Structure formats: structure tokens, C-alpha cells
Structure 1
Amino acid sequence: MGWVQTIVLSIIQGLTEFLPISSSGHLRIISELFWGADAGASFTAVIQLGTEAAVLVFFAKEIWQIITGWIAGLLNKEKRGREYKMGWMIIVGTIPVVVLGVLGKDLIRESLRNMWITATVLVLFSFVFILAEKMGKKDRGYEELNMKDAIVMGLAQCLALIPGVSRSGGTISAGLFLGLNREVAAKFSFLLAIPAVLGSGLYSLPDAFAPQAGQAATGMQLTVGTLVAFVVGYISIAWLMKFVANNSFSWFAAYRIPAGLLVMLLLALGYLTP
């Protein structure tokens, strides 16, 4: 992998990780279109550490309260408050994607990265956004989050294993269907992703240097890429949290559908290799 490719893909990762347009799908498409090769699931997983670091910084206060509240609740039953419950919701909600991620490792890194799948999912899942916006009541706040929400959004997070779906898109849509307002759905989506993405990145680190599928990257490239993804990702979170306050997620569907159709056209004409 060259340096230009590393920087470009890292910027794209930072821009698209939190927007419901699929960072893995965009990395797959851009890498194939301009460099004629798949950067690989391992490279993607590692530079996602940068965007998750952005989440840790952006929501540092809430994350610290959840961690300390969870630990306090474990040690003392009388201190099992909202933060303690939130800690368990994130843990339980993470279990499905961890199990599927480990069991389906080879499928995720090879077969599911077919460009026809990515393009098709970009289009089809866009209608899930639209339905979620139309059907969701969006009247439940952060204090109303419960274990059912965590489990459903955790199951939805599994869809992100398919490039083109979008981790945030899947979990936020699930949250909207459950009646959560946009800001709450987005915030919990980001918090829920932290254990899974950090675990996936660390688990994939050795494979990024000598992947079975995809391109190899040097340690310096992975380090710089992760830092770039962090900076751009932080800016993206700040923008999205302001955007969702007053705007529908259907706007992202308006981007995803033409993008998916364009990729299909390029595949059909032979400009892209599946």
C-alpha cells in the first residue's frame, strides 16, 4: 500500500465512519476504483481505532461516568444507578457482533467484500433509513434507554459486518424504530460501537501487516492513518451531532442510492472489479 492511498483512505474513514453511509463500503469502493485493489478488512479495522479514539475524546465525560458508575455498582449494590445500567447495556449490546465477527471472520474478510454486495446494500438499506424516519416516533430521551434497546441495536450493529450497510446507519435506524429521538439514537450508537471497534482493530492488527486478503501496510502507515482518521473523525462527530438535532437521516439515503447505482454501473461496464 502506498502513502497516498493510506492518507486518502484514512480521510475517507474519518469522514464516513459516523455518517450512515458505510465507511467500510466507501473504503472498498475508493480503493478499488483508484488503486485497483481492496485495501482489506484488516486495514479498515485498524484505522477505525482512530475514529473510535475520536469517540472516546468527544464523549469522554459520559464514558468516564459510565465506567466509574459500572465499577462502583459491581462493588456496592447501593450504587447501582443509571451509569451502572448503561455499562451493562453496552456490554450486552456488544455480544452479538463479537460472536458473529469471530465466527464469520473469513466470510467477512473475503466473500462479503464483493463489490456487487456493497453496491446493492448501499441502495437497499437506504430504504430502511426512510422507513425508520417515517415510522419512528422519536419521542424517547436518553434517560429512557433500556436493555431492550441495547439488545435490538446490538443485533442491528451486526449488519455493519457487511460493507455498505453502515454501523451507525444500522444502529441508529434500529433506535429510531424503537422510538428514540435522533440525538439519543446517534449517541448510543457511537457508545455501543466502542468495544466492538476497539476489539476488532486490536484483533486485526497482526493481519494488517500480512493480510490473507487485501493489501499490507507498514507500521508507520497504520499509525499515520489512524491519527488522520482520529482528527477527521472528531470533526465528523461534532458536525453530525448538530445535524441530527434538526434534520432527517433520509438525507443520507438520498446520497447512498445514487452512489450505489453508480457503483453498479461501473461494475457492469468493467471499470470496477467485483
Structure 2
Amino acid sequence: MTFLQQLIIAIVQGITEFLPISSSGHLILIPYITDFPDQGPLIDVAVHIGSLLAIILYFRRDVTGLTRGGFAAVGIGNDPAQRRLFWYILAGTIPAVALGLFLKLGGYLEGFRTTDLVATNLIVFGVLLGLADRFGRQLKSYEDMSLRDAVLVGLAQALALIPGTSRSGSTMTAARALGYKRAEAARFSFLLAIPAVAGAGLLAALDLADASVQMQIDATVTGGLTFLAAIATMMFLMNFLRSASLLVFVIYRVVLGIALLWLF
């Protein structure tokens, strides 16, 4: 991979991972609109790891609280509120992990890397995002999470394994439909991503160990660049959602989806 390809992939991933417009869908589109070869699933996972590190840094206070909750869950320390949130985040992770393992072990993931599927999902889930944001109440915060909410948002997260759906988009759709404030829906979404993306990264590490030295270097560089782009995007989005709706992202998804169906 050239540095230009690594830079473009990192910028696209860093921006689209946190905006509800599908990072995996945009990564798949890069080879179609450039002369670059398909970067492959290993690079895709490497950039998601870069995004994960950005989430941990930005939400370090929440991550610290969840860590305390994890220790409390095994009898070390006493923090009932964080222990409850820890178990709920864990419960919300199970659907994505289960479906991810099924798709990976069954060899189905490569079959999803098509532009028509990306385009269709951009439109369908974009409309659902718009409806949830338009009619969803703004009552709840992350601390109000219940087991039911965690599982429902976790089921929505599992759908994002199909490119074009958007992990942040599907989880924010579910959270908004359940009455979470926009910024809190994003916060809920990003914290729920930590164990799911970490699990995917662990699986990818096994593949990375067997990859060539050059591929390992490419994955490391691209993941690092993604981390920088992701931090900047997350700061923008969290501020944006405190005073604006998700309509601009809905319009972008629908227009892009229609354009892709027409072009490809």
C-alpha cells in the first residue's frame, strides 16, 4: 500500500466511523472510485482498532468508571452504579459478538462487500435513522440505561456487520427510538462499541500474526492515522449533536445510496 492510500483510508474511516453514515460501506467504496486495490478486511479491522483507541481516550472517564464496575462485578471494590452499567454494556455486546463469530467462521463476510448492498443499506437505514430522530423523545442519558435498552441497542449494533448499515447509525437509531438524547445516544453507542471492536481486533490479531511484514506495517500505520482522524471527528460530533439534529446525515445517506445504485 502507498502512503496516500493509507492516508485516504484513515481519513475516511476516522470520519465515517463516528458519523452515522457507515464506515465499512465507505471503505468498500474506495477501490471503486480510485485506482487503489481493495485494502482487504485486515486493514479494515486495523482502522477500527485506531477508532477504538480514540473512543477510549475521548471517553476515558466513562471507561474508567466501567473498569471500576468490572472490578466490582468480580468482588473487587464496591460501585453498584458502575457495576450495573458494566453488566449492561456486556449484555449489549453479546448479539454483535455472536453474529460476528458466525459470519467469520462461516466465511460470509467477503460476500457482503458489494456496492449494491452498501447502497441499499445506506438508504433503508438512513430513513430509519431519520424517523427515530424525528419522533424519538429526548429524555434519557447514558446513566439511565436499562438491561432492555442495552440488549435492544446491542441487537441494532449486530446489524452493522452488514456494510452500509453503520454501527453508530444503527445504535443511535435504536437509542433515539428508546428516548435517549442525541449526544447521549452517541455516547451510549460509542461505549457499547468498545468490547465489540476489541473482540474483532483480537480475532484480527491472529490473522495479523500470519500476515507479511509489509502488511503488518501497513496495518499499523493506517490504524495510527485513523486514531488521529477519529479524535477530531468525535470532538466535532459530540458538540454538533448538542444543538443539531441528525437530518444532515440522513440526507447524505439517501443521496449517496441513490447515486451508487445509479452509477454501479
Q: Which residue of 2 aligns with 1:271?
A: none
State the shift of 1:139 in Å.
Answer: 1.2
Q: Which residue of 1 aligns with 2:262?
A: 265
Cα distance in 2, alignment partners of residues 209 and 64 from structure 1: 30
- What amino acid maps onto 1:232 in structure 2? A
Structure 1 residue 9 and structure 2 residue 9: aligned?
Answer: yes
Structure 1 residue 239 and structure 2 residue 205: aligned?
Answer: no
Q: Which residue of 2 aligns with 1:174?
A: 174
Q: Which residue of 1 aligns with 2:123?
A: 123
On the 8 A contact 1:152/1:174 being kept in 2, the answer is: yes
Cα distance in 2, alignment partners of residues 73 and 102 from structure 1: 26
On the 8 A contact 1:51/1:229 being kept in 2, the answer is: yes
Structure 2: gaps (5+ residues): none
State the shift of 1:209 in Å.
Answer: 7.7
Q: Secondary structure at the match of 2:165?
A: coil
State the shift of 1:208 in Å.
Answer: 5.4
Using the TM superposition, name which of 168-177 and 133-142 deviates more. 133-142
Q: Which residue of 2 aligns with 1:202?
A: 202
On the 8 A contact 1:209/1:218 being kept in 2, the answer is: no
- What amino acid maps onto 1:229 in structure 2? T
Using the TM superposition, name which of 183-192 and 3-12 deviates more. 3-12
State the shift of 1:205 in Å.
Answer: 3.3
Q: Aligned pairs, how many?
A: 263
State the shift of 1:142 in Å.
Answer: 2.8
Cα distance in 1, alignment partners of residues 31 and 133 from structure 2: 32
State the shift of 1:110 in Å.
Answer: 1.3
Please list, as runs of the form range in 1=range in 2, the aligned pairs for 1:58-69 lying within 5 A after superposition. 58-69=58-69
Cα distance in 2, alignment partners of residues 196 and 113 from structure 1: 20
- What amino acid maps onto 2:83 in structure 1? Y
- What amino acid maps onto 2:262 in structure 1? L
State the shift of 1:72 in Å.
Answer: 2.4
Q: Which residue of 1 aligns with 2:193?
A: 193
State the shift of 1:210 in Å.
Answer: 7.0
Q: Secondary structure at the match of 1:179?
A: coil
Cα distance in 2, alignment partners of residues 217 and 114 from structure 1: 27
- What amino acid maps onto 2:50 in structure 1? G
Q: Following TM superposition, where does structure 1 have runs of at least 4 consecutive aligned residues deviating by more than 3 angstroms?
A: 205-211
Closer/same/farther in 2, CA of residues 66 and 122 from structure 1, 3 Å limit:
same
On the 8 A contact 2:69/2:79 being kept in 1, the answer is: yes
On the 8 A contact 2:122/2:165 being kept in 1, the answer is: yes
Q: Which residue of 2 aligns with 1:104?
A: 103
Aligned residues with identical type, % of pairs: 36
Using the TM superposition, name which of 168-177 and 141-150 deviates more. 141-150
Cα distance in 2, alignment partners of residues 9 and 217 from structure 1: 17
Closer/same/farther in 2, CA of residues 108 and 136 from structure 1, 3 Å limit:
farther
State the shift of 1:37 in Å.
Answer: 3.7
State the shift of 1:119 in Å.
Answer: 0.9
TM-score normalized by the length of structure 2 = 0.93
Structure 1: gaps (5+ residues): 268-274
On the 8 A contact 1:46/1:205 being kept in 2, the answer is: no
Cα distance in 2, alignment partners of residues 153 and 69 from structure 1: 20
